[in-house]
């Protein structure tokens, strides 16, 4: 089968080399030869450490969607709009198989794209879009096909997980760790979508629709790790927790709850042990019980592993619905806002240390019927200020936020208060 790779950054170049040097073993395993006959990239002259003969370069990247001899298009441009969108829509319409690592595109246009793929009887594969080398998409579509899944959650972003676990281990603050992460290549120059939860949100939306046989649901609560500081990490530690950025999607009473937020997780739990740039996906279903898949979440190596599994599936002629089930059968799920979800929480109030403050704060908790499980007051060195850490009993998110908002307005508050949810229940 003839392949065109569109986009030759770190990942595209690594994939190109991989396919060249592993042609034979892939042919042996799939009974079909993968042949890269065309490439295209915005910057043709960039250093890539690969030799590509001139006649392999497409004049225009969109030619890949028109040339008859191309069977599979690998989209590695990135971004939900612009050239990536144009390429994938046109490719599927012209009956080309598409393999993509583009989570933003699939999270936004996955429903439309899968409809076109199904109508044209071609594959749209996106293993590389979710948690890089963790073969979770294929596991959901094939290995775990028998299961009715009611929850999927985990650590889906290596950059933010590296930052949180480094703050924990190395006694450094957010800024210091972010600088180190950039140096090591664990954070991009502009790590915005990694830190604000958007990257996790895209992956979670894709996982949800695969797990629940539903259309992509855009109702999702998203909060990043930008506001977490070393003091929170230390407090969590003292209380027996780690802070992790989790994506959680679950079905409760036939409605979907989707949320991305930093979460206090018991130190002894499996998910607390996932450190550094690792990703982990946990699936709860019937009859299987719980299943965990863990691995490298990003980088050219892990992403190539995912891309090649998609390419191999196409080489074997394993035509499948992009979201595991025909679009006619996918459901539109009713959703619930996170405000209806209940959990215990960690709240932090930095206050002026004067009489009456503590009683005012606890009074606001009591009025809103949020009951306090544990309270720790730490004075600052100057003794003028204090940090009050409160662990609540289980309470609805909306009441926790009400408490937060009411206390935030008080004149004794010197910093924006914090709410970090505990556990995943």
Binding site for its own copies (CB under 8 A): 14, 18, 22, 26, 28-30, 127, 133-135, 138-139, 142-147, 270, 273, 286-296, 300-302, 304-305, 307-309, 312-313, 316-318, 320-321, 324-326, 329
What is the closest distance, in whole angstroms, from the C-beta atom of residue 251 to its own copies in the complex? 15
Angstrom distances, CA of residue 381 to CA of 17, 48, 234, 386: 58, 54, 17, 9
- CB burial of residue 409 (10 Å; 0-12, 13-18, 19+): exposed
What is the closest distance, in whole angstroms, from the C-beta atom of residue 282 to its own copies in the complex? 9
State how far the Cα of 34 lies from the Cα of 302, in Å rounded to an integer. Answer: 19
State how far the Cα of 328 lies from the Cα of 333, in Å rounded to an integer. Answer: 14
Helix locations, 52-197, DSSP H: 82-93, 103-119, 136-138, 158-170, 174-183, 192-195
State how far the Cα of 162 lies from the Cα of 183, in Å rounded to an integer. Answer: 13
Residue 89: name the closest of 126, 114, 125, 69 by CA: 114
- Which of 142/340 has CB closer to its own copies? 142
Angstrom distances, CA of residue 198 to CA of 132, 202, 223: 16, 6, 8
State how far the Cα of 107 lies from the Cα of 120, in Å rounded to an integer. Answer: 21
What is the closest distance, in whole angstroms, from the C-beta atom of residue 311 to its own copies in the complex? 9
What is the closest distance, in whole angstroms, from the C-beta atom of residue 227 to its own copies in the complex? 29
- Which of 138/182 has CB closer to its own copies? 138
- Which of 120/219 has CB closer to its own copies? 120
What is the closest distance, in whole angstroms, from the C-beta atom of residue 266 to its own copies in the complex? 12
What are the beta bridge partners of residue 4? 38, 73
| Helix, strand counts (H, E) of the chain | 13, 18
- Which of 36/338 has CB closer to its own copies? 36
What is the closest distance, in whole angstroms, from the C-beta atom of residue 391 to its own copies in the complex? 25
Q: Going by DSSP bridges, is the β-strand pair 418-422/345-352 parallel, antiparallel, or unpaired?
A: antiparallel
Structure tokens at 50: 């690969």
Backbone angles phi, psi at 276, to 5 degrees: 65, -145
- Which of 64/308 has CB closer to its own copies? 308
- Which of 30/368 has CB closer to its own copies? 30
Q: If you compute the radius of gyration of the chain from its CA atoms, what whole number of angstroms results?
A: 24
Sign for the CA dihedral angle at 399, 405, 409, 415 comes to positive
Residues serving a catalytic function are 203
- Which of 36/370 has CB closer to its own copies? 36
Angle, helices 397-408/357-367, rounded to nearest 10 degrees:
150
């Amino acid at each position: 089968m003839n392949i065109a790779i569109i986009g030759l950054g770190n990942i595209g170049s690594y994939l190109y080399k991989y396919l060249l040097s592993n042609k034979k073993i892939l042919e042996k395993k799939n009974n079909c030869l993968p042949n890269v006959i065309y490439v295209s990239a915005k910057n043709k002259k960039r250093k890539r450490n690969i030799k590509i003969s001139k006649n392999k370069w497409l004049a225009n990247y969109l030619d890949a969607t028109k040339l008859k001899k191309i069977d599979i298009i690998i989209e590695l441009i990135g971004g939900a709009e612009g050239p990536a969108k144009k390429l994938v829509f046109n490719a599927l319409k012209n009956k080309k198989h598409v393999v993509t690592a583009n989570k933003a595109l699939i999270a936004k246009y996955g429903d439309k794209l899968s409809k076109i793929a199904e109508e044209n009887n071609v594959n749209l594969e996106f293993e590389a879009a979710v948690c890089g080398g963790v073969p979770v998409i294929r596991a959901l579509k094939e290995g775990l096909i028998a299961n009715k899944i009611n929850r999927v959650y985990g650590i889906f972003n290596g950059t933010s997980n590296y930052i949180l676990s480094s703050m924990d281990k190395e006694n450094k603050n957010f800024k210091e760790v972010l600088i180190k992460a950039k140096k090591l290549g664990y954070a991009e120059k502009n790590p915005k979508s990694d830190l604000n939860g958007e990257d996790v949100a895209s992956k979670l939306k894709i996982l949800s629709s695969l797990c629940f046989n539903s259309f992509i649901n855009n109702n999702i609560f998203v909060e990043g790790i930008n506001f977490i500081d070393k003091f929170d990490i230390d407090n969590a530690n003292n209380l027996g927790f780690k802070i992790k950025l989790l994506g959680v999607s679950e079905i409760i009473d036939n409605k979907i709850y989707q949320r991305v937020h930093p979460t206090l997780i018991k130190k002894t739990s499996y998910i607390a042990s996932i450190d550094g740039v690792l990703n982990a996906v946990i699936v709860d279903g019937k009859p299987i019980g719980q299943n965990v898949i863990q691995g490298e979440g990003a980088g050219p190596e892990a992403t190539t592993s995912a891309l090649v599994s998609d390419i191999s599936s196409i080489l074997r002629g394993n035509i499948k619905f992009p979201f595991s089930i025909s679009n006619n059968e996918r459901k539109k799920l009713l959703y619930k806002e996170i405000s209806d979800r209940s959990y215990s929480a960690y709240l932090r109030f930095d206050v002026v240390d004067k009489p009456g403050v503590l009683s005012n704060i606890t009074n606001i908790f009591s009025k809103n019927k949020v009951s306090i499980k544990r309270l720790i007051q730490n004075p600052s060195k100057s003794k003028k200020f204090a940090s009050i850490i409160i662990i609540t009993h289980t309470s609805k998110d909306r009441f926790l936020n009400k408490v937060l908002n009411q206390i935030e307005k008080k004149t004794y508050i010197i910093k924006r208060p914090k709410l970090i949810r505990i556990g995943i229940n």
